[in-house]
Amino acid sequence: MSNKLECYQNGIRFENPFLVGSGPPSTNAKVIARSFDAGWAGSVIKTVSLDHTKVRNIAPRYGHHKVDGKCIGFTNNELITDRPLQVWLDEIKELKKQYPDKVLIASIMEEPIKENWQQLTDLVCKAGADMIELNLSCPHGMPERKMGQAMGQCPEIVGNVTGWVKEASTVPIWSKMTPNITHITEPARAALNAGADGITAINTILSVSGINMKNFQPVPNVKGVSAFGGYSYTAVKPIALRMIGELAMEFPKVEISGVGGIVDGQSAAEFLCMGSGTLQVCTGIMLDGFKMIERLNSELIDIMDIHGMKSVHELKGKSLEYFGTMAEMANRLEASKQKTKAHTDSFEGDNIVDVSKELTL
């Protein structure tokens, strides 16, 4: 594979920008090894906590949002790992022995208690993790224990937790943001002020997959009860791109790991153009398999070749300069003397479809 795709973040080398995002494709050492063999540059392990016995996963826990029979969005009600921490620590050690050049990122989550976060940080560092990702963002991350998104929505807690982990960590740390917030830059700022080396965005978006009209029950449900789930895959890409753009514009020097709907070379390149340095894929792998890395790599190289780019770093932030305000857009249109087609007088009701088409690029 060409080294055009090699990239660096926080001094760490990635053979290509593609990492397995925390979730089912990083559920244990066996699947992580399979992803490394397939060509993924690194993996963010399924989120671990100190006491796995408190994690009670349910099934069924996934839902498909289909349009014309095709899955465009995916919902899940999956908690963090329910495997014992010691098993994970042994697996991290073994994986690093077998795959010294792959980047292994420990995703960690705890209740907002300093000793817990620092103990977990110390353990994953000693096991040999290359980096740590702080899960401050799972939507169903046991809010009754004030974990996951319940923390990520509160910048003060994000700052505290990030500071505790930074103090205890011997490796770079990324804080993973929830999109279920008005301004993603606020918790991100708190994380960066507390010493985060980078930001991962986004986790899943709170959602309802659908309703079964036979019994009015939401799907998926367990014995008639459901909860708002996390939405991912292609449909969330526009929201993820916007949020990454907001982060990159607000914090131009900060390393971003982009995630949310990456499925092909085009979407990967879009995340880079909006300011991401590395890219994570979770649902895409669940629906397409680990082999998709070959397509991701070759399609990304094709896009770079069209532009004569020698390094994937050249795509980073490439599109940010093209964003402005609505007023700037109106000014440019007026200056070009091009007549805007937005004549609301021409709406007659029965031509709304045609008028809408005319206003679409």
Ligand X SMILES: Cc1cc2nc3c(=O)[nH]c(=O)nc-3n(C[C@H](O)[C@H](O)[C@H](O)COP(=O)(O)O)c2cc1C
Q: Is 173 in the site for ligand X (CB under 6 A)?
A: no
Contact of 257 with 276, CB cutoff 8 Å: yes
Give which of 176, 125, 206, 205 is closest to 280, Cα–Cα: 176
Cβ neighbourhood burial of 354 (10 Å; 0-12, 13-18, 19+): exposed
Q: Is 127 in the site for ligand X (CB under 6 A)?
A: no
Which listed residue (281, 292, 300, 303) binds ligand X by CB under 6 A? 281
Q: Which stretch binds ligand X (CB under 6 A): 52-60, 164-172, 229-237, 291-299?
A: 229-237
Q: Tell me if residue 21 falls in helix, strand or coil.
A: coil
Shortest CB 216 distance to ligand X, Å? 25
Among residues 105, 283, 293, 297, the one that binds ligand X under rule CB under 6 A = 283
CB of 62 to ligand X, least distance (A): 6
Instruction: Give 21 or 317: the residue with its C-beta nearer to ligand X.
Output: 21
**What is the closest distance, in whole angstroms, from the C-beta atom of residue 230 to ligand X in the complex?**
6
Instruction: State yes or no: is 138 an active-site residue.
Output: yes
Buried b (16+ CB within 10 A) or exposed e, 278-316: bbbbbbbbbeeebebbeebbebbbebbeeeeeeebeebb
Q: Rank residues 132 and 312 by Cβ distance to ligand X and give the closer one.
A: 132
Which position among 4, 7, 23, 274 is part of the footprint of ligand X (CB under 6 A)?
A: 23
Supply the DSSP string of 282-340, one letter for each residue. Answer: SHHHHHH-TTHHHHHHHHHHHHHHHTT-SSGGGGTTTTGGG---HHHHHHHHHHTTPPP
Contacts of 204 (CB under 8 A, 6+ apart): 75, 76, 138, 139, 179, 229, 230, 231, 232, 236
Piece of 16-24, 159-167, 207-215, 333-341 that binds ligand X (CB under 6 A)? 16-24
Site string for ligand X, 128-167 (x = CB under 6 A): -------x--x-----------------------------
Please pick, among 125, 138, 154, 273, the residue that the annotation labels catalytic.
138
209 binds ligand X (CB under 6 A): no
Distance CA 348, CA 311 (A): 52
User: Least CB distance from residue 286 to ligand X, whole Å?
Assistant: 7
Cα 100 to chain center, whole Å? 24
Return the amino acid letter for 234: T
Other C-beta atoms lying within 10 Å of the C-beta of residue 34: 14
Hey, what are 282's tokens?
């979770």
Q: Which stretch binds ligand X (CB under 6 A): 156-164, 257-265, 296-304, 322-330?
A: 257-265
Which listed residue (165, 173, 190, 282) binds ligand X by CB under 6 A? 282
Cα angle 131-11-300, degrees, rounded to a multiple of 5: 90
Query: Is 187 an interacting residue with respect to ligand X (CB under 6 A)?
Result: no
Interacting residue with ligand X among 4, 176, 189, 316 (CB under 6 A): 176
Q: Of the candidates 47, 49, 169, 180, which one interacts with ligand X according to CB under 6 A?
A: 47
Q: Applying CB under 6 A, which of residues 233, 274, 301, 303 lies at the interface with ligand X? A: 233
CB of 4 or CB of 22, closer to ligand X: 22
Residue 27 has φ and ψ, to the nearest 5°, of: -80, -25
Residue 255 bridge partners (DSSP): 198
Question: Restricting to residues 54-83, which ones interact with ligand X according to CB under 6 A?
Answer: 74, 76, 78, 80
Distance CA(20)–CA(29), nearest Å, equals: 13
Does residue 276 interact with ligand X by CB under 6 A? no
What is the C-alpha separation between 57 and 143, in angstroms, rounded? 14
**AA letter at 226:** S
List residues with catalytic annotation: 138
Per CB under 6 A, residues contacting ligand X are 21-24, 46-47, 74, 76, 78, 80, 107, 135, 138, 176, 203-204, 232-233, 236, 259-262, 281-284
